Amino acid sequence: MRIGDMFPSSLAIVDDDREFADYLAQYLVQRGVSVRVFHDSDEFLTSADAYGFDFYVIDLTLPGVDGVDLIRLVRRKGPAGIVVVSGRVGADVFESVLRAGADMYMMKPVRFEQVALAIEAVHRRVKGSHAQESVWRLDRAAKKLIAPDGARIDLSENDLAVAECFVAAEGTTVTRATLCERLGRDPQTEADNLLHAAIYRLRRRLERATSSTVPLHSEHKVGYTFRGKLSVV
């Protein structure tokens, strides 16, 4: 099995221990993972792509929103893997993080190799449990996206243009430049936040209309991937 198959493609570390978080990020990047580090929960929650990662490593004692509450927020958005790595002690810590939705709890101090093994194990379990791919359908004529649960979501012209890019990509990453060009924007001069806003509005429209997990993921500094099966009717 290739290293790229063993680990998630994208991962967020939310930990105010800068040395630990930054060195863990370097360790995982060497294993082919795209990693972003957030040193407090507010920084993470205000990020445009907060809920677009495949995996999360979360500390419990954070500036801003507490780690347990942060786990609940992330879990509501989808089935991504969540490993807690924290120095918090207490009789109810283990139970509280698992009830909040985390997949595994690890007590600091811990070696990077151990964290990597935990990520690999959880990722393998999550990937296996979602092996049956959800099918989304694009109705071009009606300008609607049909979710796996049958919800029919109206698409704006920009939404339709983005969806067409994902259909053509067949599960691979669509670059920011490609999306900007399809939306009629110059990728050399248009600010990134314009594209972020377009993707954010599409994601929110889908999340509000369907109970199905929205498989729209950000690939940091590259583009976006629609990881569910997307067909045309």
**105 in Cβ contact with 94 (< 8 Å):** yes
Residue 98: pLDDT over 70: yes
pLDDT band (50, 70, 90) for residue 49: confident
pLDDT at 4 over 60: no
Q: Residue 195 pLDDT > 50, yes or no?
A: yes
- Position 185 confidence tier, pLDDT thresholds 50, 70, 90: confident
Is 190's pLDDT higher than 60? Answer: no
Cβ atoms of 8 and 32 within 8 Å: the answer is no
Q: CA-to-CA distance for 36 and 10, rounded, in angstroms? A: 8
Which strands, in side-by-side order, build the sheet including 104-107? 34-38, 10-14, 55-58, 81-86, 104-107
Identify the band that residue 35 occupies on the pLDDT scale cut at 50, 70 and 90.
Answer: very high
- Judged by average pLDDT, the poorest of 57-71, 159-173, 175-189 is 175-189
β-pairing, 174-175 vs 152-154, is unpaired
For the residues 179-203, what does the mean pLDDT come to? 79
Instruction: Give the pLDDT confidence score for residue 131 in this predicted structure.
Output: 45
**Of the ranges 41-45, 146-150, 189-193, which one carries the lowest mean pLDDT score?**
189-193
Average pLDDT over residues 2-20: 85
The band of 2, judged by pLDDT with boundaries at 50, 70 and 90, is very low
**Above 50 in pLDDT, residue 132?**
no
Kindly list the distances between the CA atom of residue 127 and the CA atoms of 51, 66, 80, 164, 196, in Å, as whole numbers in the listed order.
17, 28, 9, 26, 27
What share of the chain in percent tops pLDDT 70?
92
